[in-house]
Structure 1
Amino acid sequence: MTASRPLSLVTGGSSGIGAAFARQLAALGHDLVLTARRADRLEALAAELREQHVTQVTVLPYDLVDPATPRTLCDELHRRGLQVDWLINNAGYGVPGTFVANDWATHADFLQVLLTAPTELAWRLLPGMRQRGHGRIINVASLAGHVPGPAGHTLYAASKAYLIKFSQSLALENRTAGVNVCALCPGFTWSEFHDVTRTRDKMNKLPGFMWLSAEEVVRQGIAAVERGDAVYIPGRVNRAIKTMVQLLPDQLALWLSARESKRYRNTQI
């Protein structure tokens, strides 16, 4: 940790894994910058954290779908004299349905939020971390980035695989500069994600042992980045799935993915 209170920027901080990061980092003594689209939820969370912890919480409502947002956000941080020590690239969502069922604008927005925005935020904030000799970057990826891409969420697994490789390279480039980078790869996590993608009914059919709480995912993720793990999969079941897929022939792994994805993906639209 730095000598003063570390400052963490959490994207997608209004709910789910992002809100869990905010709560746990505040409990660890961090000041926070929270950004997401829903200002009312951010303000409610900020009020909660200020009451429960001696922490400064800055709320900056921005939509990462706007290509100008990463620069605008970082300019505002600079204007306020805020230096980010921890970057939590958490913002994300899924686009249900087949690739051609959605218009290009929908896919372009998705790529901006899931790929371009976290990459640009890391590029803009990393030099300051290196200069100060300390920093942490957690890119919230997914177990989906380690297994064959399923039908029905065409860009999701691909985007998470990118974050994994991106994090590995950043970790190697910056470890000697005191900056740890980790791709956190949760599996099924209790959050609003499946409500937004309208797959909650299907997901509820999965056995309970396959799920982790957002709080547990975050607890393990914070420990992983502090250890210097470049990639971390929380949960024994998820790690076993990744190992099994690696050992299977590619065609068999793809066949299993096609069979299982019908249970929890909408492949008809």
Structure 2
Amino acid sequence: MHAAVEARGHALVTGASAGIGAALARELARRGHPLILTARRADRLEALREELSKQVDCRVLVADLEDPEAPTQLLDAVAEQGIEVGLLVNNAGYGVPGTYGSVDWETHARFLQIMITAVCELSWRFLPQLQRNAGGVINVASLAGHVPGSAGHTLYAAAKSFMIKFSQSLALENAEHGMRVCALCPGFTYSEFHDVTGTRDQVSKMPDYMWMQAEDVVREGLDAWERGEIVWVPGKVNRVIKTLTALMPDRMALKLVAKRSKDFRKL
């Protein structure tokens, strides 16, 4: 079994019921990390808890991060169980199809609550525990946070870019506590994400070499966090895309994204 790094405290994984979140939970369990799994879907969480409890202590806390009270409720629920968090994995997320003006503000507000506010509040509320346990944070960002924003899903790349910068600052501030903070930035990953956003038919036309399995993404991501990487883009193809985009003049990069947006974003 892979030896857990600084495994004091439980690993709290948000959005753990499917996709990258479930894959993260499985890989963390394989590495010996006790778990707290949270998401909205109790049935899926319970099935995963039953599976992973054979390997590590695994708790389930049903929560909807759309609720502004959820971070405080999670903090209280963890305290009631007499345990502490040593690794916070901010994974919960999704995309909102359409252009900015075509979507009602309430939908945008819910998105911002889950993707930015909850990430920041959970990190702040659990920070004393993370510092005590010399643990860390993994923020599941995206390759989209490194490339120019696209037409459609207007706030998605912006939120992921925020997560990257937030991770960098948090890492520098907390290095003295022995904490590791990593922004994990996947590209196209096989999961339910594109079904939820209604872009499955579009992205299915992308070439196979653009895609990664969730298991490979999380294995790379956890390895990167363990060795102290602050930002990690899994997959050689994705790292090439990040590098080439950074080297391009902004005007050229934006023109390229404008041409290809319809291939992976729903307007």
Q: TM-score range by the shorter chain?
A: over 0.9
Cross-structure match for 2:113: 112
Question: Does the 8 A contact of 2:7 with 2:86 survive in 1?
Answer: no
Residue matched to 1:136: 136
Cα displacement (A) at 1:131: 2.5
- State the percentage of identical aligned residues: 59
Report the counterpart of residue 72 of structure 1 in structure 2: 73
Aligned length: 264
For residue 26 of structure 1, what is the aligned residue in structure 2? 29
Residue in 2 that maps onto 1:239: 239
Distance verdict in 2 for CA 1:90–1:3, change over 3 Å: closer
Structure 1 pair 27–251 and aligned structure 2 pair: CA distance change class (3 A): same
Tell me if the contact between 2:8 and 2:135 (Cα under 8 Å) persists in the aligned partners: no
CA contact (8 A) 1:6 1:29 kept: no
Match of 1:35 among 38, 42, 50: 38
1:155 match: secondary structure: helix
Instruction: Name the aligned partner's letter for residue 129 of structure 1.
Output: L
Report SS of the residue matched to 2:32: coil
Residue 46 (1) aligns with residue 46 (2):
no
CA shift digits 1:54-109 (9 cap, x unpaired): x1111111000000000111111111111001111000000000001111110000
Q: Does 1:228 align with 2:228?
A: yes
Give me the TM-score of the superposition, normalised by structure 2.
0.96
Report whether the alignment pairs 1:219 with 2:219.
Answer: yes
What are the equivalent positions in structure 2 for 1:31-180 lying under 5 Å apart?
31-51=34-54, 53=55, 55-132=56-133, 134-180=134-180
Q: CA contact under 8 A between 2:8 and 2:86: conserved in structure 1?
A: no
Letter in 1 for 2:23: A
Q: Which amino acid aligns with 1:109?
A: R
Gaps spanning 5+ residues in structure 2: where?
none
Q: Give the equivalent residue in structure 2 for 1:186.
A: 186
Q: Is the 8 A contact 2:9 2:83 kept in 1?
A: no
Q: Distance in 1 between matches of 2:7 and 2:117?
A: 31
Change (3 A) 1:27 1:5: farther
For residues 4 and 232 of structure 1, the distance between their equivalents in structure 2, rounded to whole angstroms, comes to 21
* Larger displacement relative to structure 2 (120-129 or 88-97): 120-129
Contact 1:150–1:261 at 8 Å: present in 2 too? yes
